[in-house]
């Protein structure tokens, strides 16, 4: 009898797994909506090995944008209001998984446009799928230079895709090279000539470091690069090595993300390596989320960091409202990739309204190319695309379908526990808030 | 129960459980063969099946290594990675062995050639590792293979000048497909055929005297050795054999069949632990059980992303809907782990074991001491016949 | 906080000799409970006491007192360190930095190690010579002096004793050091006289972090010694211990603030006992449900089951924590408000100065916590009835059962205690590292290295293994000729040691001879 019961148990268990149904979003409100709901696919890493924290914020931002658009009566096409729904696919930070999920979103969920993507490796792997299926796509976070250009595949050898006429991929996050130049220009303007780069060995860290290194060396500075693995906790031996140099470096630039960068920054300041009188500490854009930063880097005062995305002094009403919502949800300042994902939904919605269609990919791409829209991160437009196909000599290929104006600044904390919104913007000069391009540790602007 | 009793008697009197089992297996095979021809199925469904086949190969070969031969290795994913990385590097850079005058340029090597080289290298590394592991048992072996796998992953990540680091390495595409809509069909059948071939090969090994020796070795190495089993030879053999299988599967899967590039994160311990969990849930001692376990577990993990439970008896939620949504996305791995733990404790041979067993028709009591051969293992000829 | 030079010298003058005197008088007490044949000569004990007391103060004395077996090993390690340092200082002045590395390849390297390790043990066995440690010596020697070792050992098949191992070990270390020196002459490790400070700093870094590693590894080894299984859930128990501490401090602080009406924050030290209690109960429950049937013989192939079931347990804990706590990094307040201890620069002669040496305050505190807890455990194991019962069970289950010890309870106790130690090290480290649900993975890998190096089942082995691994990681990252690779492969250095120990000497440094 026991044997049979086991059998039945198994069958029952398998049956339960087989019958787990999938839910559907629903809506109500004051607007009249047509039957067809426009769906947008959002690729975000929601489980390991991806950057889960980033994925959760992007998922939230896209859904928040859809809710806000729906509250404003959705997308109006030919006088009819359509609701917007966002389906988030979990890329798990892996290209293989990202490809499968992108196909699922496009083919099963039949999304009308795609957005999101956090990891560059996922971006590189999925671009081909979006192209092949002719899905207008606005990437909001991958930084790799190759993402919005022709997408390098070692064995492809295909000519740049935009010569074929239509190219569906847009990007509103900066390319790595665009970020590096600002930090490097700032440091060079301070007269720095001895640089230590501490770099994570990932698809984000290495290209960024290579770019910055080349820029520093072109300006005659000496650069030593130290690679670390993400997940390393104890950096003291590495920092002791830096400390043991006959002369302290002028700057330590951290190109590491997540909790690894927090550990590194904290140990650096605990040991007194940087920030110090001799050495400038430059950490990454994650420091802008001040709650998290101060909770994990209590000694991180006077560290400068690059901010990618709009700066607090320029926050529009939309940005302030989005920040308030984010703070309600997560208790911290809204990160740039959440803002960009939020804006990406609006860019697509606006383009569909102007194109007067949610199915005609060519029309939507054309409309996105002609975007001129003020959103939470600033004014969006695309300089090079089908409407302006000739890249001038010397312009990098990634400028195709690339938002040229992501604001990249350098900011610096000068009080312990300071909110990211109050931190000083120190470079470029046009954005300076405290009239100085570097706050020497121990002083106040 | 009474219904089931009557059903059981009827089956026994009529077609017989065993034949019913083969019939069902045949139907499953037919379903897999027919599936990509279903016009209503999207490419996505095929993609899911393709990676399902891949993980089925991984899980079943791990079942052979750990469940049947008792070599508890955590290095399985690393061998897969060796196959894929070597194939990719050879196709990109070629190689030169100066002393022997061997010089292969990237242009002169085809995708298939690269895959063969990858497979052979995976086998060679398996040979070395198997030889090194001869002295180690159980926990020591598990620890050593974890260390090996981690070292390999860190090296792939750190030497990004050669391996592409976490941007991943593209392999030479195995199939050039011009038309988008016909794509995936070839990949699907290729991966499916690979699964069948690997399973048949493994069954061949398991059912030969070697399989017997492997089991004897697992139960008691010293006793087996005393009885004249050449433990050294079979241990190394099983390592080389499974390494080559996963090396081959990896090299093919990442040659743009299942995925366009391999990344070091794929070799993390988490991925390996998923393979182990698949095999455990499906049944560590049954190759087909482990393969099916991979399929079912992956489906389960997908389905658990968001679970909606409809409330019974006309009950409604506060907002008027009758569905209770539970955000299982974050919890799914925890639940999956629970399933694995309870399977281990209460159904050691996997959730599928009772079903396979019932069809086998053998009047088995669910003994705790089950390390017997299953019926599927008994008759490879039948299985092969079914396939043709 | 800065320790002034004078203070430091005062400490050296007073504290060292003071504790050395204590060691001199206390150490002979080791012999009192021992049977005659196990006694160690009084002079040896006194010398050890003086050295231990002088070098490590009360810690050194206590360590040697509780584990007299360590005396021999300590001698060996001191020998290696002194040899390496002395020879390297000579070398740096002699070796031409442009020497081609081909020389290195011909003379030595892993190839010769493999050849020697393959040939020599077989040769010994053929001649029926005593082949204990021959494999290790052959590999070490092959690495250090290349083909010479085969010649040395082939002819006379000497019995490999301690002296052989010390000499070969020193030569191997010397070899690596030379290689580092040749490849990168600017390596801070070899730039005398400055390297003395640097090596001391890196060794101190290693000792501090290593003592913390030890606490976790001790738990692992305790479970192994009693139950004979390796817990693959250890990293997750470590992680969850940190989270229990975090949530206790967060909510406890809030509750206290509400009650008193003022802002109250609890020192994270209180999180350690809280995490300990919770995880102790967790561990006990898990053992009763899942491991007990194994010991009752209800489960086939127990070794494999033990790996899988603990692995599954860890998997569940990790993802439950991820679902509850989310992926955002957390951290508690610090233990002490001292950012770092600095030993100021002391100028000894015109061109020779020592210092500064920096130790992060919170780490020093955590190290003290770790060492105190390990000694508490040693005391528990050596001096209380329950502790002795645990040890008895680990040595011989049947015999222990005969004397009225319940092995089932001992199993539960060992697993719960081991898990508790992991949780305590987690709670001790959450003020130091940013905490995320996958934080256990890196740490547990290191624990495996430590226990295997020290010998699975040996508590003092875990303590020393922890410190050695700490030092190797620090020196590896600090001395690797390429700073970038040194940092990226930091974790890999320990893994390499691990693989080597497993292959050459699976019983580790302190392990019992069993498998």
Q: Write out pLDDT tens, residues C417-450.
A: 999 999 999 999 999 998 988 888 888 888 888 9
Show which of residues 268-287 on chain C sit within 8 Å of chain A, judged by CB atoms: none
Banded pLDDT at C26 (limits 50, 70, 90) = confident
pLDDT reported for residue C326: 81
Q: What is the mean pLDDT of residues A58-85?
A: 87
Banded pLDDT at A341 (limits 50, 70, 90) = very high
Q: Which residues contact C199 (CB under 8 A, 6 or more apart)?
A: C85, C189, C475
Helix axes B287-303, B332-346, angle to 10 degrees: 150
Is-contact B44 B91, C-beta < 8 A? no
> Is residue B375 pLDDT above 50, yes or no?
no
pLDDT reported for residue B223: 81
Exposure letters A208-237 (e unless 16+ CB within 10 A, then b): bbbbbbebbeeeebebebbbbbbbbbbbbb
pLDDT reported for residue C109: 64
Residue-averaged pLDDT of chain A: 82
> Is residue B183 pLDDT above 70, yes or no?
no
Question: What is the residue-wise DSSP string for A323-358?
Answer: HHHHHHHHSSPPPHHHHHHHHHHHHHHHHHHHHT-S
Top-confidence range, C96-100, C267-271, C498-502: C267-271
Show which of residues 476-495 on chain C sit within 8 Å of chain A, judged by CB atoms: 476-478, 483-488, 490-491
User: What ipTM is given for this predicted complex?
Assistant: 0.81
Is-contact B265 B34, C-beta < 8 A? no
In a domain, B366, yes or no: no
> Is residue B386 pLDDT above 50, yes or no?
no
Q: Which residues contact B306 (CB under 8 A, 6 or more apart)?
A: A22, A23, B325, B326, B327, B328, B329
CA–CA dist C345, C4 (Å, integer): 9
- Tell me how close the Cα of A304 comes to any Cα of chain C, in angstroms: 20
**Kind of pairing between the strands at A424-427 and A408-412:** antiparallel
In this complex, do C326 and A56 lie within 8 Å of one another by their Cβ atoms? yes
Banded pLDDT at A197 (limits 50, 70, 90) = very high
Helix (H, G, I), strand (E, B) or coil at A319: helix
Q: Which residues contact C395 (CB under 8 A, 6 or more apart)?
A: none
In this complex, do C502 and B143 lie within 8 Å of one another by their Cβ atoms? yes
**Nearest residue, CB atoms, B371 vs list C300, C307, C313:** C300
Banded pLDDT at C456 (limits 50, 70, 90) = confident
Banded pLDDT at A196 (limits 50, 70, 90) = very high
Q: What is the mean pLDDT of residues B282-307?
A: 84
**Kind of pairing between the strands at A80-82 and A75-77:** antiparallel
CA–CA dist C224, C217 (Å, integer): 11
**Nearest residue, CB atoms, A154 vs list B170, B329, B351:** B170
**Does C270 or C128 have the greater pLDDT score?**
C270
- Residue B174 sits at φ, ψ, to 5 deg, of -80, -35
Q: Please check whether residue A329 touches C, CB under 8 A.
A: no
CA nearest neighbour of B371 among B259, B227, B222, B219:
B219
**Nearest residue, CB atoms, B170 vs list A26, A48, A155:** A155
Q: What is the mean pLDDT of residues C121-140?
A: 81
Domain extent for B170:
42-267
Q: How many CB atoms are closer than 10 A to CB B364?
A: 16
For C380, counting Cβ atoms within 10 Å of its Cβ (0-12 exposed, 13-18 middle, 19+ buried), the class is middle
CA nearest neighbour of B246 among B61, B52, B49, B56:
B61
| Cα atoms in the Cβ-side hemisphere of radius 13 Å centred on B265 | 25
- Residue A412 sits at φ, ψ, to 5 deg, of -150, 135
Is-contact C165 C80, C-beta < 8 A? no
Domain boundaries, chain A: 10-174+320-399, 176-308+407-431
Same CATH fold assignment for domains A10-174+320-399 and A176-308+407-431: yes
> Is residue A163 pLDDT above 50, yes or no?
no
In this complex, do C323 and B330 lie within 8 Å of one another by their Cβ atoms? yes
Exposure letters B146-181 (e unless 16+ CB within 10 A, then b): bbbbbbbbbbbbbebeebbbbbbbbbbbbeeeeeee
Q: Please check whether residue C435 touches A, CB under 8 A.
A: yes
Quickly count helices (H) and strands (E) in chain A: 12, 16
Q: How many CB atoms are closer than 10 A to CB A75?
A: 24
Is-contact B192 B46, C-beta < 8 A? no
In this complex, do C309 and B151 lie within 8 Å of one another by their Cβ atoms? no
Residue-averaged pLDDT of chain C: 79
Residue pointed to by tokens 């960024």: A208
SS (H, E, C) A405-417: CCCEEEEECCCCC
In this complex, do A94 and B266 lie within 8 Å of one another by their Cβ atoms? yes
In this complex, do C301 and B155 lie within 8 Å of one another by their Cβ atoms? no
In this complex, do B42 and A108 lie within 8 Å of one another by their Cβ atoms? yes
- Residue A358 sits at φ, ψ, to 5 deg, of -110, 0
CA–CA dist B40, C243 (Å, integer): 48
Is-contact C305 C293, C-beta < 8 A? no
Q: How many CB atoms are closer than 10 A to CB A387?
A: 10
CA B358 to chain centre: 24
CA–CA dist C446, C303 (Å, integer): 22
pLDDT reported for residue B373: 42
Q: Does the CA dihedral C60-C62-C65-C70 come out positive or negative?
A: negative
In this complex, do A53 and C188 lie within 8 Å of one another by their Cβ atoms? no
- Tell me how close the Cα of A424 comes to any Cα of chain B, in angstroms: 34
Subunits that touch chain C (at least 3 Cβ pairs < 8 angstroms)?
A, B
In this complex, do C483 and A244 lie within 8 Å of one another by their Cβ atoms? no
Judging contacts by C-beta atoms under 8 Å, the chain C residues touching residue A224 are: 483-484
Is-contact A261 A230, C-beta < 8 A? no
In this complex, do B341 and C498 lie within 8 Å of one another by their Cβ atoms? no
Tens digit of each residue's pLDDT (9 = 90 or more) over C375-386: 899 899 888 999
Banded pLDDT at A5 (limits 50, 70, 90) = low
pLDDT reported for residue B70: 85
SS (H, E, C) C395-439: HCHHHHHHCCCCHHHHHHHHHHHHHHHHHHHHHHHCCCCCECCCC
Top-confidence range, A396-400, B316-320, B340-344, C57-61: B340-344
Show which of residues 10-29 on chain C sit within 8 Å of chain A, judged by CB atoms: none
pLDDT reported for residue B316: 59
In this complex, do C358 and A271 lie within 8 Å of one another by their Cβ atoms? yes
**Kind of pairing between the strands at C340-343 and C357-360:** antiparallel
Give Cα separations from B186 to A183, B191, B192, B257, B277 (angstroms): 49, 9, 10, 9, 29
CA–CA dist C277, C248 (Å, integer): 12
In a domain, B93, yes or no: yes
Number of domains in chain B: 1
> Is residue A37 pLDDT above 80, yes or no?
yes
**Nearest residue, CB atoms, C201 vs list A227, A240, A266:** A240
- Of all residues in chain C, the one with the smallest CA distance to B270 is C315
CA nearest neighbour of C448 among A327, A149, B139, A153:
B139
**Nearest residue, CB atoms, A229 vs list C328, C363, C491:** C491
Q: Which CATH superfamily is domain A10-174+320-399 in?
A: Response regulator (3.40.50.2300)
Q: Please check whether residue B268 touches A, CB under 8 A.
A: yes
Please give the radius of gyration of chain C, using alpha carbons only, rounded to the nearest integer: 24
Q: Does the CA dihedral A287-A293-A296-A299 come out positive or negative?
A: positive
Helix (H, G, I), strand (E, B) or coil at C270: helix
pLDDT reported for residue B368: 38
CA–CA dist C243, C252 (Å, integer): 13
Tens digit of each residue's pLDDT (9 = 90 or more) over C232-253: 999 999 999 999 999 999 888 8
> Is residue B383 pLDDT above 50, yes or no?
no
CA nearest neighbour of C173 among C475, C507, C470, C491:
C475
Lowest mean pLDDT among B6-15, B184-193, C357-366: B6-15
**Does C191 or A308 have the greater pLDDT score?**
A308
Tens digit of each residue's pLDDT (9 = 90 or more) over B101-158: 567 777 777 888 889 989 999 999 999 888 888 777 777 888 888 888 988 998 888 8
CA–CA dist C195, C181 (Å, integer): 12
- Residue A85 sits at φ, ψ, to 5 deg, of -130, 145
In this complex, do B268 and A7 lie within 8 Å of one another by their Cβ atoms? no
CA–CA dist B51, A103 (Å, integer): 13
Helix (H, G, I), strand (E, B) or coil at A384: strand
Q: What is the mean pLDDT of residues B261-270?
A: 84
CA–CA dist C112, A33 (Å, integer): 78
In CATH terms, A176-308+407-431 corresponds, of 1.10.3720.10, 3.50.50.60, 3.40.50.2300, 3.40.50.300, to: 3.40.50.2300
pLDDT reported for residue A22: 35
In this complex, do B266 and A93 lie within 8 Å of one another by their Cβ atoms? no
Q: Please check whether residue B331 touches A, CB under 8 A.
A: no
Tens digit of each residue's pLDDT (9 = 90 or more) over A377-386: 888 888 887 7
Judging contacts by C-beta atoms under 8 Å, the chain A residues touching residue C477 are: 237-238, 241
In a domain, B246, yes or no: yes
Banded pLDDT at B382 (limits 50, 70, 90) = very low
Show which of residues 277-306 on chain C sit within 8 Å of chain B, judged by CB atoms: 289-290, 293, 298-301, 303-306
Is-contact C498 C453, C-beta < 8 A? yes
**Nearest residue, CB atoms, B160 vs list A23, A144, A206:** A206
- Residue A42 sits at φ, ψ, to 5 deg, of -120, 120
Is-contact B325 B98, C-beta < 8 A? no
- Tell me how close the Cα of A434 comes to any Cα of chain B, in angstroms: 39
Q: Cis peptide leading into A127, omega within 30 of 0?
A: no
Show which of residues 323-382 on chain A sit within 8 Å of chain B, judged by CB atoms: none
Q: Apex CA C354: angle with CA C348 and CA C359, to 5°?
A: 150
> Is residue A317 pLDDT above 80, yes or no?
yes
Q: Which residues contact C434 (CB under 8 A, 6 or more apart)?
A: A259, A262, A263, A266, A296, C329, C330, C331
Q: Please check whether residue A49 touches B, CB under 8 A.
A: yes
SS (H, E, C) C364-397: HHHHHHHHHHHHHHHHHHHHCHHHHHHHHHHHCH
Lowest mean pLDDT among A298-312, B159-173, C30-44: C30-44
CA–CA dist A13, C264 (Å, integer): 50
CA nearest neighbour of B213 among B229, B225, B197, B200:
B229
Lowest mean pLDDT among A1-5, C262-266, C470-474: A1-5
């Amino acid at each position: 009898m026991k044997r049979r019961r086991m059998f039945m148990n198994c069958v029952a268990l398998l049956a339960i797994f087989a019958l787990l149904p999938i839910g559907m979003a629903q809506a109500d409100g004051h607007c009249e909506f047509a039957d067809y709901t426009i769906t947008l696919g959002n690729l975000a890493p929601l489980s390991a090995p991806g950057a889960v924290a980033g994925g959760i914020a992007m998922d939230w931002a896209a859904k928040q944008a859809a809710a806000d658009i729906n509250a404003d009566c959705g997308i109006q096409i030919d006088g009819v209001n359509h609701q917007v729904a966002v389906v988030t696919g979990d890329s798990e930070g892996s290209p293989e998984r990202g490809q499968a999920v992108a196909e699922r979103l496009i083919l099963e969920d039949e999304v009308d446009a795609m957005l999101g993507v956090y990891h560059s490796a996922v971006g590189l792997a999925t671009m081909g799928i979006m192209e092949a299926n002719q899905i207008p796509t606005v990437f909001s976070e991958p930084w790799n230079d190759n993402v919005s250009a022709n997408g390098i595949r070692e064995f492809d050898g295909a000519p740049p895709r935009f010569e074929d006429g239509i190219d569906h991929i847009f990007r509103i996050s900066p390319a790595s090279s665009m970020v590096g130049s600002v930090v490097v220009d700032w440091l060079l303007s301070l007269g720095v000539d001895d640089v230590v780069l501490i770099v994570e060995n990932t698809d984000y860290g290495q290209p960024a470091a290579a770019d910055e290194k080349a820029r520093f060396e072109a300006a005659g500075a000496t650069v030593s690069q130290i690679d670390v693995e993400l997940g390393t906790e104890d950096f003291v031996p590495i920092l002791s090595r830096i400390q043991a140099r006959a002369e302290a470096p002028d700057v330590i630039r951290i190109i590491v993300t997540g909790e690894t960068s927090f550990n590194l920054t904290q140990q650096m300041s605990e040991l007194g390596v940087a920030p110090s009188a001799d050495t400038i500490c430059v950490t990454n854009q994650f420091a802008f989320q001040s709650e998290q930063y101060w909770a994990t880097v209590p000694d991180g005062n006077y560290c400068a960091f690059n901010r990618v995305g709009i700066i607090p002094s320029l926050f529009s009403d939309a940005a302030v409202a989005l920040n308030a919502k984010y703070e309600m949800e997560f208790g911290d300042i809204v990160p740039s990739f959440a803002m960009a994902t939020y804006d990406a939904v609006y860019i697509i919605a606006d383009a569909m309204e102007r194109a007067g269609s949610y199915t005609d990919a060519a029309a939507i791409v054309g409309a996105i190319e002609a975007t001129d829209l003020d959103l939470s991160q600033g004014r969006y437009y695309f300089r090079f695309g089908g409407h302006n196909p000739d890249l001038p000599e010397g312009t990098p290929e990634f400028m195709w379908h690339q938002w040229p104006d992501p604001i990249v600044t350098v900011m610096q904390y000068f009080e312990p526990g300071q909110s990211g919104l109050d931190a000083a913007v120190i470079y470029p000069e046009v954005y300076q808030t405290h009239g100085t391009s570097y706050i020497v540790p121990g002083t106040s602007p | 129960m009474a219904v089931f009793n009557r059903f059981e008697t009827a089956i026994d009197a009529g077609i017989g459980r065993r034949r019913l089992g083969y019939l069902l297996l045949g139907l499953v095979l037919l379903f897999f063969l027919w599936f990509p021809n279903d016009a209503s199925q999207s490419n996505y469904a095929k993609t899911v099946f393709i990676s399902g086949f891949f993980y089925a190969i991984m899980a079943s070969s791990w079942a052979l290594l750990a469940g049947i031969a008792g070599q508890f290795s955590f290095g399985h994913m690393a061998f897969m990675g060796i196959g894929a990385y070597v194939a990719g590097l050879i196709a990109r850079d070629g190689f030169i062995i100066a002393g022997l005058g061997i010089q292969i340029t990237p242009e002169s090597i085809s995708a298939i050639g690269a895959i063969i080289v990858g497979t052979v290298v995976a086998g060679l590394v398996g040979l070395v590792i198997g030889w090194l592991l001869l002295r180690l048992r159980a926990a020591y072996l598990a620890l050593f293979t974890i260390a090996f796998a981690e070292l390999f992953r860190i090296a792939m990540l750190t030497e990004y000048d050669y391996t592409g680091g976490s941007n991943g390495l593209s392999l030479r595409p195995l199939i050039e497909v011009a038309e988008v809509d016909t794509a995936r069909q070839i990949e699907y059948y290729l991966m499916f055929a690979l699964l069948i071939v690997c399973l048949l090969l493994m069954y061949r090994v398991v059912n030969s005297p070697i399989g017997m020796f492997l089991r004897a070795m697992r139960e008691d190495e010293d006793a087996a050795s005393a009885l004249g089993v050449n433990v050294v030879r079979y241990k190394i053999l099983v390592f080389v054999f499974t390494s080559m299988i996963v090396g081959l599967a990896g090299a093919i899967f990442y040659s743009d069949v299942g995925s366009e590039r391999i990344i070091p994160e794929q070799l993390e311990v988490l991925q390996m632990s998923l393979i182990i969990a698949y095999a455990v849930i499906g049944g560590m001692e049954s190759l087909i059980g482990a393969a099916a376990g991979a399929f079912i577990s992956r489906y389960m993990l997908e389905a658990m992303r968001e679970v909606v439970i409809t409330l019974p008896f006309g009950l409604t939620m506060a907002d008027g809907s009758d569905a209770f949504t539970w955000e299982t996305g974050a919890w799914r791995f925890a639940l999956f782990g629970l399933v694995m733990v309870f399977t281990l404790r209460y159904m050691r041979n996997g959730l599928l074991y009772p079903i396979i067993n019932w069809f086998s028709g053998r009047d088995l009591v669910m003994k705790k001491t089950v390390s017997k051969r299953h019926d599927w293992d008994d008759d490879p000829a039948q299985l092969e016949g079914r396939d043709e | 906080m800065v320790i002034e030079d004078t203070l430091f010298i005062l400490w050296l003058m007073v504290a060292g000799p003071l504790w050395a005197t204590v060691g001199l008088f206390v150490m002979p007490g080791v012999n009192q409970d021992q049977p005659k044949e196990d006694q160690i000569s009084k002079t040896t004990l006194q010398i050890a006491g003086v050295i231990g007391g002088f070098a490590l103060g009360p810690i050194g004395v206590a360590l040697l007192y509780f584990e007299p077996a360590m005396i021999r090993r300590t001698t060996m390690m001191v020998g290696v360190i002194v040899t390496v340092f002395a020879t390297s200082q000579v070398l740096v002045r002699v070796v031409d930095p442009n020497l081609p590395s081909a020389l290195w390849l011909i003379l030595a390297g892993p190839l010769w190690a493999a050849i020697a390790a393959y040939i020599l043990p077989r040769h010994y066995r053929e001649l029926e010579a005593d082949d204990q440690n021959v494999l290790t010596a052959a590999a070490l020697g092959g690495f250090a002096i290349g083909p010479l070792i085969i010649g040395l050992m082939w002819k006379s098949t000497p019995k490999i004793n301690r002296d052989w191992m010390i000499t070969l070990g020193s030569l191997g270390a010397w070899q690596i050091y030379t290689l580092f020196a040749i490849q990168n002459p600017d390596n801070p490790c070899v730039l005398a006289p400055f390297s003395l400070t640097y090596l001391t700093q890196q060794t101190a870094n290693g000792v501090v972090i290593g003592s913390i590693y030890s606490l976790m590894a001790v738990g692992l080894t305790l479970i192994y010694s009693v139950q004979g299984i390796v817990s693959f859930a250890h990293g997750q128990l470590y992680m969850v211990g940190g989270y229990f501490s975090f949530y206790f401090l967060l909510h406890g602080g809030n509750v206290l603030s509400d009650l008193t009406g003022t802002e109250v924050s609890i020192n994270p030290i209180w999180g350690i006992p809280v995490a300990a209690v919770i995880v102790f109960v967790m561990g006990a429950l898990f053992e009763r449900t899942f491991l007990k049937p194994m010991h009752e013989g209800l489960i086939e192939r127990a070794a494999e089951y033990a790996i899988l079931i603990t692995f599954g347990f860890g998997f569940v804990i990790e993802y439950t924590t991820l679902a509850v706590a989310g992926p955002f990094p957390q951290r508690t307040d610090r233990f002490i408000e001292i950012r770092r201890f600095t030993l100021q620069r002391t100028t000894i002669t015109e061109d020779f100065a020592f210092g500064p040496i920096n130790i992060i305050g919170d780490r020093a505190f955590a190290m003290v916590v770790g060492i105190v807890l390990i000694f508490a455990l040693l005391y528990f194991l050596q001096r209380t009835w329950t502790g002795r019962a645990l040890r008895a069970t680990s040595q011989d289950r049947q015999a222990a059962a005969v004397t009225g010890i319940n092995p089932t309870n001992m199993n539960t106790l060992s697993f719960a205690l081991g898990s508790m130690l992991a949780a305590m090290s987690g709670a001790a480290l959450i003020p130091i590292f940013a905490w995320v649900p996958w934080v256990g993975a890196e740490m547990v890998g290191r624990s495996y290295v430590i226990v295997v190096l020290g010998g699975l089942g040996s508590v003092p082995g875990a303590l020393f293994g922890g410190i050695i691994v700490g030092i190797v990681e620090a020196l590896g990252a600090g001395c690797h000729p390429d700073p970038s690779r040194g940092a990226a492969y930091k974790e890999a250095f320990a893994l390499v040691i691990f693989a080597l120990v497993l292959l050459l000497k699976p019983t580790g440094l302190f392990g019992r001879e069993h498998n």
